Chains A and B, each alone.
Chain A
Amino acid sequence: MRRVPTQRFVLGFASLAAMVLAYTVLSNAHLFRPEVVPPTQEIAVAFTELVVGARPPPVTEGDMHAGHHGHSSAHVGTLLQQGVTLQDSLAITAARVLFGLAAGVPLGVLLGVLMGWSRRADDYLHPIYVLLRSVPPLALITYVMLWLGHGEAHRLIPIVYAVAATMVIPAYHGVRDVLVTYVVAARSLGARRWLLVRKVLLPAAGPALLAGLRYAVAIAWMTAVGAEMLMSENGMGNLIVGGGLWASRTQTKADPAVVIVGIVTLAAAGWAMDALARSATARLTRWVR
Chain B
Amino acid sequence: MPPKKDNFFSGPGIRTRTARALLSVGALAVVYGIASEIGRGRLPDRIWLGTHYVENVQLLPPYPSLAEETTFLLESGILTSSIAVSAGRVLLGFLLGGAFGILLGIATGRATRAEYLADPWVTFFRFTPALALLPLFVLWFGYGEGSKVLLIATSVAVVTILGAHQGVRSVPRVYLDAAAALGASPGLAFRKIVLPAALPHIFASLRIGLGLAWVTIVVAELIDARMPSLGYLLTLAGAYPRVPTMVVGIATIGALVLAFDLLALWVHARATRWMRRTA
Contacts and interface: CB of A to CB of B under 8 A. Distances in A.
Are the chains A and B members of one assembly?
yes
A270 interface: yes
B129 A135 contact: no
Contact of B49 (A126, A145, A259, A262): A145
B234 A150 contact: no
A8 interface: yes
A138 B119 contact: no
Interface in A119-147: 119-120, 123-128, 130-131, 134-140, 142-143, 145-147
Contacts of A229: 131-132, 134, 219
Contacts of A225: 129, 131-132
Contacts of B121: 15-16, 19
Interface in B119-141: 119-121, 123-136, 138-140
Contact of A130 (B113, B133, B258): B258
B192 interface: no
Contact of B250 (A16, A127, A143): A143
Given A142-B238, A146-B57, A149-B49, A123 B17 contact: yes
B70 interface: no
Contact of A136 (B28, B243, B257): B257
B135 A254 contact: yes
B49 A222 contact: no
Nearest to A179: B9
B139 A36 contact: yes
Contact of B222 (A11, A134, A249, A262): A249
B72 to A, nearest CB: 19
Contacts of B235: 142, 249
Contacts of A274: 127
Which has the most chain B C-beta neighbours within 10 Å: A7, A145, A150, A259? A259
A260 B136 contact: yes
B55 interface: no
A11 B214 CA distance: 35
B7 interface: yes
Given A125-B24, A127-B25, A241 B135 contact: yes
A218 to B, nearest CB: 7
A100 to B, nearest CB: 13
Contacts of A249: 222, 225, 235, 239
A128 B28 contact: yes
B132 A126 contact: no
A266 B127 contact: yes
A136 B218 contact: yes
A8 B119 contact: yes
A127 B9 CA distance: 20
A175 B73 CA distance: 43
| Interface size of A as a range | 35 or more
B179 interface: no
Interface in A20-66: 35-37
A226 interface: yes
Given A15-B118, A146-B57, A252 B138 contact: yes
A245 interface: yes
A133 B172 CA distance: 34
Contacts of A288: none
Contacts of B66: none
B219 A250 contact: no
A102 interface: no
Interface in A146-191: 146-147, 149-151, 179-180, 184
Contact of B132 (A13, A19, A240, A256): A240
B24 A262 contact: no
Interface in B133-153: 133-136, 138-140
B69 interface: no
Contacts of A8: 116, 119
A259 B132 contact: yes
Nearest 6 A/B pairs, CB to CB: A270-B127, A142-B238, A150-B50, A254-B135, A11-B116, A123-B20
Given A131-B254, A139-B234, A263-B128, 20 more contacts: A11-B117, A15-B118, A35-B139, A124-B23, A130-B258, A136-B215, A136-B218, A142-B234, A145-B49, A149-B49, A149-B50, A150-B49, A218-B127, A225-B132, A245-B222, A249-B222, A252-B135, A256-B136, A266-B132, A270-B128
14 contacts: A35-B139, A36-B139, A123-B11, A134-B257, A146-B57, A240-B135, A241-B134, A252-B135, A254-B136, A259-B135, A262-B132, A263-B132, A271-B124, A271-B127
Interface of B: 7, 9, 11-12, 16-17, 20-21, 23-25, 28, 47-51, 57, 59, 113, 116-121, 123-136, 138-140, 214-215, 218-219, 222-225, 234-235, 237-239, 241, 243, 246-247, 249-250, 253-255, 257-258, 261
